[in-house]
Structure 1
Amino acid sequence: MNDNLTIHPDGRTTLRMQRRLPHPPAKVWRAITQPEHLAHWFPANITIDGDRITYGFGPQGHITELDPPHVFAHTWGDDELRWELHPDGDGSILTLTHTFTDLHGAASFAAGWHTCIQALLAHLDERPAHHPASTARLHEDYIAILGLDPATTAHGDTDGDTDGDTVRLERQLTRHADHVWRVLDGHHATPGQTPPAPFTPPGLQPGPVTRAESGKLLEYDIPGGTVRWELTEGTGHGARLIITCTGAAPTTLGAWRNHTAELASSLVD
């Protein structure tokens, strides 16, 4: 398995995944380009009409490169997919590159494509595919494999005063927002009271809750700043978590990173 990310200067991200398949390129080519074969493993119902592709839902795409049996490249809305085949003994090397704008969705994309390629291999082997009940653990593994760090920090003033730092974390989760809210004990969040313990990492002194919207948002004061938790629509089947902590000391960055990692781990079945 050879999977990695490239972040481009324009803000787009490319996920590259490479697998050896014990089948010749001609056979694999049919499986990755013909709708009757794609139906067994691709995550959408593909229809190809000339260079136009429809996926059964969401935006359409078009074929951007076709070099049988080596390269099949196409768009899916704003995303770009490129499938490359090279012979390797009696088998093939399949390389998928997926270019997209949502960096923090990369683990969801990787987990999804890994599962699809496993189904592709089963189809090539002419055996039933195993469809996992959940890809949550695989998603969390890909967070580590791809080196996705959810945390950033920036100075909040021109003097570089550390008391003015802003810590921001963005992380794709594997469960829907209502479930995450219950895990955070969010139903006990009350304006004017201190937030439930799961909303605060060790070492941070919380003040009163200033705003709470069930399953969506919680804000509270801290000495010299504020903390804001947001749960929004994410990539895949879970919510996107965004935490913004203003007026934070640089030492809180690691605490927030660990806190969100522990939360994400607790959501895995």
Structure 2
Amino acid sequence: MNPHSDTLTTADGRTALRMERRLAHPPAKVWSAVTDPAHLRQWFPSEVTVDLRPGGAMTFAMPGVSGIAMTGTVTDAEEPRLFAFTWGEDHLRWEITQDGEGSLLVLVHTFGDRFGGASFASGWHLCLTALSQLLDGVPPGVERDAGELHEAYLEQFDLGRGVVEDTADGPRVRFERQLVRPAEAVWAVLTSGDEPVAGAPAPAGFTSRQAPAGPVTEAVAPTVLAYRWHPEGTVRWELGQGTGHGPRLALTQTGPEGFAADAARDAWHARIEQLAARLMAD
């Protein structure tokens, strides 16, 4: 399965991930695999109960996790061609059409967290591989993504680019990027053993060629580092809750009116990609 056949689009604050797979099985068999909880539990990322009718209730429970379940509602159930439902704030649509002697399965996952797109795509990629194995009569067995698939989707969907925002106080450079190693591992790479101290220069790992080290103003390992790179400019790193692979990096740089924000964005892009490559190598 080639991730380059999959697409990610964003409009009106919602993002749609579209993935299609050709399967060597008739629509009726595929329909059973995507709607029957006994089949779903062999390839779907959670255990499901479903009242298979429009308006029917659904629950989603993570295997091995008790007392926590999400709910959803069936929005479409047209055997054997369309099954769609909400899952929390997300919407999933599974469309099955005849394709020769087999089927074309199209998944459209709509959600609000655009920067989680590579995590969702890599997760569904593995689930759809397991679904194909199930349909082929092979016990589903796929290895968890170690990060390579996630990073391939991130590059394909161009999710690593930062933006320059206009604010009342001047331009602000901002990046949001999903990382693939735990926050503690990211922090260790960034500090290289040079733990930040308030008032001391920021460790080199937190700087860029357009944001030299200045005095640390906040340090909370392994989640927050902020420093002044200019009397009127700050840099802030935050490692927050991510989407399955590791922490979500949010990085901002502010500066005086007229500072070279585009050059700063390019410098941070290079720095963050260097960090991501180092994390993968480790």
Please report how far the alpha carbon of residue 157 of structure 1 lies from its aligned counterpart in structure 2 after TM superposition: 4.2
Deviation per CA, 1:198-237, whole angstroms, max 9, x where unpaired? 1112243221111100111000001230000001111113
Match of 1:168 in 2: 174
CA contact (8 A) 1:4 1:15 kept: yes
Decide which moves more: 136-145 or 244-253: 244-253
2 CA distance for matches of 1:155 and 1:179?
33
Match of 1:66 in 2: 77
For the residue of structure 1 that corresponds to 2:8, the secondary structure is strand
Equivalent residue in structure 2 for 1:40, among 19, 34, 42? 42
1 CA distance for matches of 2:71 and 2:184?
31
For the residue of structure 2 that corresponds to 1:127, the secondary structure is coil
1 CA distance for matches of 2:146 and 2:117?
14
For the residue of structure 2 that corresponds to 1:147, the secondary structure is coil
Please report how far the alpha carbon of residue 175 of structure 1 lies from its aligned counterpart in structure 2 after TM superposition: 1.4
2 CA distance for matches of 1:31 and 1:135?
27
Structure 1: gaps (5+ residues): 159-163
CA contact (8 A) 1:33 1:72 kept: yes
Please report how far the alpha carbon of residue 179 of structure 1 lies from its aligned counterpart in structure 2 after TM superposition: 1.5
1 CA distance for matches of 2:192 and 2:226?
11
1 CA distance for matches of 2:146 and 2:40?
21
- Aligned-residue sequence identity (percent) comes to 46
Normalization by structure 2: what TM-score?
Answer: 0.89
Match of 1:103 in 2: 114
Please report how far the alpha carbon of residue 139 of structure 1 lies from its aligned counterpart in structure 2 after TM superposition: 0.4
2 CA distance for matches of 1:133 and 1:70?
30
Decide which moves more: 243-252 or 71-80: 243-252
CA contact (8 A) 1:186 1:215 kept: no
Match of 1:161 in 2: none
Structure 2: gaps (5+ residues): 62-67
**1:174-189 correspondence to structure 2 within 5 Å:** 174-185=180-191, 188-189=195-196
Match of 2:58 in 1: 53
Match of 1:242 in 2: 250
**1:127-138 correspondence to structure 2 within 5 Å:** 127-138=138-149
Decide which moves more: 87-96 or 196-205: 196-205
Please report how far the alpha carbon of residue 255 of structure 1 lies from its aligned counterpart in structure 2 after TM superposition: 0.8
2 CA distance for matches of 1:134 and 1:42?
15
CA contact (8 A) 1:62 1:74 kept: yes
Match of 2:65 in 1: none
Please report how far the alpha carbon of residue 186 of structure 1 lies from its aligned counterpart in structure 2 after TM superposition: 6.8
Match of 1:77 in 2: 88
Please report how far the alpha carbon of residue 168 of structure 1 lies from its aligned counterpart in structure 2 after TM superposition: 0.5
1 CA distance for matches of 2:89 and 2:211?
40
Normalization by structure 1: what TM-score?
Answer: 0.93
2 CA distance for matches of 1:151 and 1:30?
43
CA contact (8 A) 1:119 1:129 kept: yes
Match of 2:64 in 1: none
AA aligned to 2:97 is H
Matched, 1:17 2:19: yes
1 CA distance for matches of 2:192 and 2:117?
28
CA contact (8 A) 2:94 2:107 kept: yes
CA gap of 1:8–1:58, structure 2 versus 1, over 3 A, is farther
1 CA distance for matches of 2:278 and 2:212?
23
Decide which moves more: 30-39 or 146-155: 146-155
2 CA distance for matches of 1:134 and 1:85?
27
2 CA distance for matches of 1:121 and 1:135?
21
Please report how far the alpha carbon of residue 128 of structure 1 lies from its aligned counterpart in structure 2 after TM superposition: 2.8
Match of 1:8 in 2: 11
Match of 1:210 in 2: 217
For the residue of structure 2 that corresponds to 1:237, the secondary structure is coil
What is the Cα-based RMSD across aligned positions, in Å? 1.6
Please report how far the alpha carbon of residue 130 of structure 1 lies from its aligned counterpart in structure 2 after TM superposition: 3.1
2 CA distance for matches of 1:94 and 1:103?
23
CA gap of 1:85–1:133, structure 2 versus 1, over 3 A, is closer
CA contact (8 A) 1:189 1:195 kept: yes
